[in-house]
């Protein structure tokens, strides 16, 4: 390997005698804040992708208050130690969510019999026996 060539003597002297540059502080640019106001009528604004749409001006959907309607659970079938409740399959001791008329409900399958199933609604702890419908 070859040794590196030394720097010219004049360059080192020039850098030592030059005054240090002082940095002047710059004013930081302010970032504009975006604000979106939902239009209540066409004069306040339109959807840029669907300008003829009436969607932004419709009233928002109202949520219906929850009622204390009884939970409807159906035993759809039993086979080989498995039970299907409201379209979801359970084995004994298994718990999971099922769709009901009043939203999702947590259920634990306690016992699977020949023509019925004993379940527990969670977290209430209410036990029910679901029976298969009679054969038509």
The predicted-structure confidence for 48-63, as pLDDT tens digits, reads as follows 788 888 776 666 556 6
pTM: 0.49
pLDDT tens, position by position, 19-41: 566 777 788 888 888 877 777 77
Structure token pair of residue 81: 């130690």
Are 127 and 118 in contact by the 8 Å Cβ rule? The answer is yes
The CA-CA-CA angle for residues 121, 70, 132, to 5°, reads 70
Per-domain boundaries in the chain: 75-131
């Amino acid at each position: 390997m070859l040794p590196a060539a030394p720097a010219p003597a004049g360059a080192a002297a020039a850098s030592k005698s030059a005054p240090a540059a002082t940095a002047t502080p710059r004013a930081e640019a302010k970032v504009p804040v975006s604000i979106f106001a939902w239009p209540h009528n066409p004069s306040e604004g339109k959807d840029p992708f669907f300008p003829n749409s009436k969607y932004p001006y419709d009233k928002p959907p109202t949520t219906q208050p929850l009622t204390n309607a009884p939970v409807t659970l159906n035993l759809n079938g039993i086979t080989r130690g498995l039970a299907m409740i409201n379209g979801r399959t359970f084995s004994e001791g298994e718990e999971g969510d099922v769709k009901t008329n009043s939203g999702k409900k947590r259920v634990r399958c306690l016992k699977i019999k020949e023509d019925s199933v004993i379940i527990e609604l969670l977290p209430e702890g209410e036990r029910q026996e679901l029976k298969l419908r009679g054969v038509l």
